[in-house]
Structures are given as structure tokens and as C-alpha cells.
Structure 1
Amino acid sequence: MVKHLLISAGLLLLSACASSGQTAYARLGGMPALYAVTDNFITLIEHEPRILKYFKGVDIAEFRRHFAIQLCMETGGPCEYTGRTMQDAHAMMNITEADFNLTVELLIKAGEQAGLATSEINYLLMKLATMRKDMLYK
């Protein structure tokens, strides 16, 4: 019974979002909001040594630009991501499940700090979750 209620509530939420006619990109606040999430995410990573180790040698300005553009594209914005595939970008990094989960926690916190609603943070996570398999150590 509870499972059916949760599914129904989720479907209602999705239909309400779809019926507003706005893309997630517009609901989030466009590029200013996506850059706020990205900048918060980078700051959180800088203070988390378990994740920071994966960014050794990474051009942070390039990461910032690519991450924000990817968020834009994933949320229906006018951007086109032209960076490396997630599999290529994360190859040889040996990212563990625990570190991946910690990174997701940092992304949630980054969204909260940017003032995003929980439903919008969940939407971002849903869109990015499809890339999980390409990031984890195999």
C-alpha cells in the first residue's frame, strides 16, 4: 500500500512538473543556478580529501565549465556537452562505490547551498545517475 502511494505521489509530482511547460533548466534558474551548484560542488570537493584525490592534475576551470554545461544539457537547457565521455573522463581513476556515494552527498549539499528545492536536486541526481556505471571502477 505504501509503495503504491509513493509511486502515485511520484507520478503526480512528475506530471505537475511536466504540465508547467517549463524545462528543469528554467525551473532551476538557468546557468546562474547551475554555476552556483557547480561552484559549491567544487568548494566541497576541495575540503573532502577522499574525493579531492580524484582531481589531482585536473584543470578545475575546465571541469567547472564542462560540469555546468553537462547539467545544462541534462536539464533541457540550450547547451551541448562536447567534453569527453564519462567513461573516458573517469577511466583509470578506480572510483569506489563509497567514494561515488560520498560525491553524490557533496552534490546534494551543493544543490542545497545553492537554494535548490529537494525535488530539483532529486531531478538532477536522477539525470546524472544514468552515468554511474561509466564512473565506477570495474
Structure 2
Amino acid sequence: MTTMTLSKHIGAALLLASSLAWAQTPYTEDSTFQGLGGKAGIKKIVDTFIPMVTADVRIKEQFVDTDLKQLAERLAEQLCEFSGGPCKYTGKYKDRDMSTAHIDLKISNAQFNALTEDLQLAMAAHGVANAVQNKLIAKLAPMQRDIVTK
């Protein structure tokens, strides 16, 4: 799939996701969690994803001063809960909520989309079905409002 096609697919998925995500809470149905490979699969995805974003020229500067170990832990927790798994995502990093944690980063929609693309590539690298990827992205998409500040 070309980058242009993937970007269009991601954009459409994010639009659809933002409307679907609210209808899917709370996240108690675990088929997405199972489709990600459970906790072990999520760890593999996160272990692939973090190096991807720190190497991605479109967004790597956003991660220069980030505690990557902490990021990996929170992300695995978040993906687990949002996919219907048994984890509890606190939504906090150093006692800051998602909006407060990202306010000074001046993240653009393009950067948010690049991060989403990297997440989809990490999931694909571990054989996660497109339908499962789309379900997870749908649940994460509403956070765009708290993350994009530019």
C-alpha cells in the first residue's frame, strides 16, 4: 500500500472512528484485545511501535525528551484497556491527563496521523487483521481532540 493510499485510509478511519468510539464505551467486549494477541501481542506491537516513532522523521522530535520506558508501559496499558482487555489505563503521566501532557508539544493533525500510521504499521508487522486495527483506532481516535494543539 502506498503512503498516499495509507494516509487516505487513515484519514477515513479517523473520521469514522471519532463517531464510533463514543458508542463503543465502555470497552468490555474483548475481541479486539484477542485480535491484538492479548497482553503478549500488545507488548510486541508496542516494542515495534516505539522505535518506529522515534525514527520517523515526521514526529521523532516530539519524543526527544520522552521517558520511552514509561511511554511503552502507559501505551501497553492503554491499548490493553481500550481493546477490551483486563488492564486499567490511568490516563496519567506524571500526574497529568492526556490534554495537559500534550498541550506544550504543539502537535499537528499531520503528526497525529503519522503516529497513527506508525501504529497501524506496527500492528500489521505482527499480523493484526485490518478489521482489528480499525476497531482499535476507532477507540483511540477521540483522543485527537486532547493531543492536537496546533
TM-score range, shorter chain: 0.7 to 0.9
Kindly report which structure 2 residues correspond to 1:46-125, keeping only aligned pairs within 5 A, or say none.
46-84=54-92, 85-125=97-137
CA distance in 2, matches of 1:53, 1:46: 8
- What TM-score comes out, normalization by structure 1 length? 0.79
The 3-state SS of whatever aligns with 2:59 is helix
- Unaligned 5+ runs, structure 1: 1-20
The 3-state SS of whatever aligns with 1:50 is coil
Deviation per CA, 1:35-70: give whole Å up to 9, x if none: 111111112112212211111211101100000000
CA distance in 2, matches of 1:26, 1:113: 16
**Aligned partner (choices 41, 50, 54) of residue 42 of structure 1:** 50
Deviation per CA, 1:7-35: give whole Å up to 9, x if none: xxxxxxxxxxxxxx753212321111111
Stretch deviating more after TM superposition (42-51 or 124-133)? 42-51
CA distance in 1, matches of 2:107, 2:60: 12
Bigger radius of gyration among the two = 1
Equivalent residue pairs, number = 118
Identity of aligned residues (%): 35
Higher RCO (Cα < 8 Å, 6 or more apart)? 2
**RMSD (Å), alpha carbons:** 1.5
CA distance in 2, matches of 1:23, 1:111: 15
